[in-house]
A and B are shown apart, each in its own frame.
Chain A
Amino acid sequence: MTSRKGTWNRLAEPAAVIVRWVVGALFIYMGLRKALAPVDFLKLVREYDLVQTPLLLNSVAAILPWFEVFCGVLLVAGVAVRGTAAVLIAMLIPFTVLVVQRALELHSGGTPFCAIRFDCGCGAGEVYICNKIAENVALVLLSAWLLAGRGRALALRFSLGRTPPAAS
């Protein structure tokens, strides 16, 4: 039992570093794809019908992609990892709810739920809704793992405050 736990602890840290890099790289990629085609992203944000005033709508479409890139860079570099992971979770959960709501809107037209495919504005083009939900759940869980204090190795400044003791 002890040796199993020891093996897990030995493997968990490098795995968490890889997770940090992968999640960070994914956010950089997705963010850049949107930031380089802001008008396309603006049209997709409008489809969600969340905000009506041009200033708010434009602000969401202009700021969100670069914000994702920023969070991705922080994760890859290993700066403020737990704070960044918390921010990502705070973005991913409501975004997933919105995507599901939009999918349900389309589902009411009679299409089977998992056959629904649309461009949710995630930066990956058209995706099947069930795949998107699975991907977002995975991202939330991985971010939560980083939030728990994993992935310290090769981090430039894991915590902006005083570094807390490593998670065991």
Chain B
Amino acid sequence: MKKILLEAILVGAAGILLAWLANAVSPRGLVLTRNYFPDGTGRMAQHPSNTDPASPAGTNALALRIAQLGFRPVDRETVVQLHNDPFFAQELIVFIDARDEAHYAEGHIPGALVFDHYHPEKHLADVLLACERAEQIVVYCTGGDCEDSVFAAVTLKDAGVAPGKLMIYAGGIEDWRRNGLPVETGARNSGRIAP
């Protein structure tokens, strides 16, 4: 029994060490000291009723949280208006897709910039440049219980973007698609628009 316990301790220690090394050398590895959930308000989806922003409880919880952080929640009608606004073409209104590159390439709101806040080193410089010029910034992610738009907005705020410019479209790309609005696939301004 003692032998097995010692062996288990050895396996555990070697496993932790090797796992730590594997994470350190993996290009997809996590930075252990980084705060990936920077809003400081805790997990939103504590209860199933809070996981669906379409439900009243979900909508209220998310709207309250967005407001607490100093951002403005926006609905689909407003987002469509902003997307059709001539200022959008002049990049005075900017859309930011807070999902990862793979999901972005599968389909995003036409003209949106990609900003995966879990890997800020990839796009932060470009996004900040666009945010500096912009007067209004719409941030969205998948929708449903996705919180990445909030985290991305907090990251941008922490990087110096005025919170008053930042709007959160909680319905996200799911709500956008569900209503038959066009999505762009591939890179930004690729011209590949799916109905």
Contacts and interface: CB of A to CB of B under 8 A. Distances in A.
Interface of A: 35-39, 42, 46-47, 49, 54-55, 58-59, 61-67, 69-71, 74, 80, 82-84, 86-87, 90, 105-106, 109, 111, 147, 159-161, 164
30 contacts: A35-B23, A37-B28, A38-B29, A39-B30, A42-B30, A49-B43, A49-B46, A54-B36, A59-B32, A62-B19, A62-B23, A62-B29, A62-B30, A63-B19, A63-B20, A66-B15, A67-B19, A70-B15, A70-B19, A71-B11, A82-B7, A83-B7, A83-B9, A84-B7, A86-B7, A87-B8, A87-B12, A90-B8, A109-B47, A164-B3
B195 interface: no
A119 to B, nearest CB: 11
Contacts of A38: 23, 26, 28-30
B10 interface: yes
Contacts of A160: 7, 10
Interface residues on B, range: 35 or more
A35 B12 contact: no
Contact of A67 (B16, B26, B32): B16
Contacts of A82: 4, 7-8
A164 B1 CA distance: 11
Contacts of B26: 35, 38
Given A54-B34, A67-B19, A83-B11, A109 B49 contact: yes
Contact of A106 (B14, B33, B48): B48
Kindly list the 4 A-B residue pairs having the minimum CB-CB distance in the complex, ordered from nearest.
Answer: A83-B7, A66-B19, A86-B8, A62-B23
Interface string B131-153: 00000000000000000000000
A115 B19 CA distance: 35
Nearest to B19: A66
Contacts of B47: 105, 109
A87 B46 CA distance: 30
A84 B11 contact: yes
Given A58-B30, A87-B12, A35 B48 contact: no
Given A86-B8, A90-B8, A47 B45 contact: yes
